[in-house]
Amino acid sequence: MSLRNDKKIYDKRPSTFQYVKHVLRYGFTLTCFREIVYLFFYYAINHVKGVSKAHLGKGVRIWPTALLRDAERIYIGDGSSINHNNVLWAGRESAVIRIGKNVLLGPNVTILAYNHYVEEGGTLPEHFSEEDIIIGDNVWVGAGVTILAGAKIGEGSVVGAGAVVVGHLPSQSICVGVPAKPIKTIT
């Protein structure tokens, strides 16, 4: 170790023993225990409860970091995959999310079947609206896509990474952008 400008700069990595010592010293604190309990209940409420209430087809794969809210109104077709950090949030009262067969959602996809709005003169989101979301069969949704209430994605389409889907996207098309628009037809 050397000192430069009153900062410690390590010339070599700590040994395995030093790593283990650090984990034992700081890993078994009350704060660590509390965070583990919070994580357990967060997982139980947002993932396990959601998966148990959702309507799942055969061979559906849902990664453990996916969050399903109001899952009794979420329908996922056979062979579809819900990836890491996906958020599927059906309407609070009646709006459903319908995902077709063999749909692949990339990581960090957000699907929200409801939306808050502010009436003229209001300051905070006071009310919400909701609409169904329909995703056709054999659709591929890229990483980081946001799909909002009322969206419909046609069968066999591809939605590019980072797109925001706010309306209807035609079947057999490649769609990108904010808002998502078709740029090419798949033949």
Examine the pLDDT at 2 and tell me if it is beyond 60: no
What is the pLDDT, as a whole number, of residue 119?
Answer: 73
Helices (H), 69-182: none
Three-state secondary structure readout of 153-168: ECCCCEECCCCEECCE
Rounded to a whole number of angstroms, the distance between the first and last alpha carbons of the chain is: 62
What is the pLDDT, as a whole number, of residue 8?
Answer: 65
Rounded Cα distance, 182 and 133, in Å: 18
Catalytic positions: 116
Do the domain assignments include residue 35?
no
Structure tokens at 62: 């849902």
Domain count along the chain? 1
Which CATH number covers residue 176? Answer: 2.160.10.10
Do the domain assignments include residue 4?
no
Higher pLDDT, 125 or 61: 61
What is the domain extent for residue 126? 54-185
Whether the CB-CB separation of 35 and 58 falls below 8 Å is answered with no
User: Residue 157: pLDDT band by 50, 70, 90 thresholds?
Assistant: very high
What is the pLDDT, as a whole number, of residue 146?
Answer: 97
